[in-house]
Amino acid sequence: MAALPILCYPDPRLHTVAKPVVAVNDAVRRLVADMAQTMYEAPGIGLAATQVNVHQQVIVIDLSDERDQLQVFINPEIIWSSEEKKVWQEGCLSVPDFFDEVLRPSEVKVRALNLEGKPFEIHADGLLAVCIQHEMDHLKGKVFVEYLSSLKRMRIAGKLKKKTKAGAL
């Protein structure tokens, strides 16, 4: 396993749409292991392959305090979402040190493949539902700041560019 570099907003590669995984093989399992290590070291609770410049539909999530309940979603798709929406405070490993409120469906049902390539479905609410939707946005080339006003996005991009030039990121 190896920690991978995380792309930082406004890097244009974050807007690349991920392609479906053709076969769940050892290379995909290695990617999942590397992504999990990267997420844990960051530290974060979710990571999409797009954020590490791999444009395949792979997501890792772990909401546990002990960091021992890794969930893997390969080729995830939302097959149902609630009409009820909820505002959550979101952050992102690709947008370090910035948090803002995003309105999302409060519940989702997701179909995906596991590490053995077997399909499964999960009904998620609360933080898990938010995290799945946030990471799936990455696979579509969307970063959470795109839900914010253009003024906020410009400010965040400017501050992150300055930090990058100063070597702080």
- Span between the terminal Cα atoms of the chain, in Å: 22
User: Within 10 A of 66 (CB to CB), how many other CB atoms are there?
Assistant: 6
> Any residues with CB less than 8 A from the CB of 44 and at least 6 apart, and which?
93
Tokens of 96: 């370090």
Residue numbers belonging to the annotated binding site for Fe cation? 92, 134, 138
In degrees rounded to 5, what are phi and psi of residue 34?
A: -65, -40
> Any residues with CB less than 8 A from the CB of 61 and at least 6 apart, and which?
45, 46, 47, 70, 71, 73, 128, 131, 132, 135
Q: Is 135 assigned a catalytic role?
A: yes
Which residues sit opposite 92 in a β-bridge? 95
User: Within 10 A of 112 (CB to CB), how many other CB atoms are there?
Assistant: 22
Query: Which of 77, 83, 101, 135 does the annotation list as catalytic?
Result: 135
By annotation, the residues acting in catalysis are: 135
